[in-house]
Amino acid sequence: MDIVYFEMVENLKEDRCIICHLKNKAMNKFFDDFLYESVNDYNLRDRIRKGGICPEHARKLESFGDVLAHAIIYSDLLNSFKNNHRVDILPRKKKNQEQNICVFCEKEQSFEDTYTRAFSHYFKTQPKFKAAFAEKGFICQRHLDQVLDKMTSSSTKNELLSIVKRKIDEIITHLEKIKEKNDYRNIHENYTPEEVKSWHMAVRFVAGSED
């Protein structure tokens, strides 16, 4: 077994997408390494100048609070904007010219590909992984779709979908109970911890996990 296998098994949690969690964990380390080790890397800074930083990752990077690193990065970006946006050179890009993308988006996609590919492989080849996921695992809709795209066997796809749908049925059952408790006849009944957890799990299935 490789390290990714044990990383996935050890981090399975019934109310948290395993792919989101490991991807976010890897991205946090990438941000940390970038700020403290790579912010002066000329090639990386050149890629950032060309591709910029998307709003989501700009806010995430800002949350780390490294003022000096931000001064270095954003002075580059602001000077690049000032130098490349002049009336005499606009428009700069042709319609069919390939667009550069946010370095952090590219890295995030790489982590997602690594973990969804690993999940697909382990679910098909490792019965213990399949059993562990069925017992205590969870996956969001977007990453489930990515895993299914990497599976070639229809029977394996159906097996995974069956497990996920069973988990979704449990969530729906609790959501229906929440709806029932908002009927005036049952308004005195409090939500149970399982019902509250299912509410959050429904959000995480549709939108992914942030932790």
The model's pLDDT over 129-162, given as tens digits with 9 standing for 90+, comes to: 999 999 999 999 999 999 999 999 999 999 999 9
Quick check: 115 pLDDT over 90? yes
Q: 37 is in which domain, residue-wise?
A: 3-207
Q: What is the mean pLDDT of the chain?
A: 90
Tell me the average pLDDT across 2-11: 95
Tell me the average pLDDT across 104-131: 97
Among left, alpha and beta (phi > 0; psi -120 to 50; other), residue 91 is: beta
Q: How many domains does the chain have?
A: 1
Q: Confidence class of residue 85 from pLDDT cuts 50, 70 and 90?
A: low
Q: Confidence class of residue 99 from pLDDT cuts 50, 70 and 90?
A: low
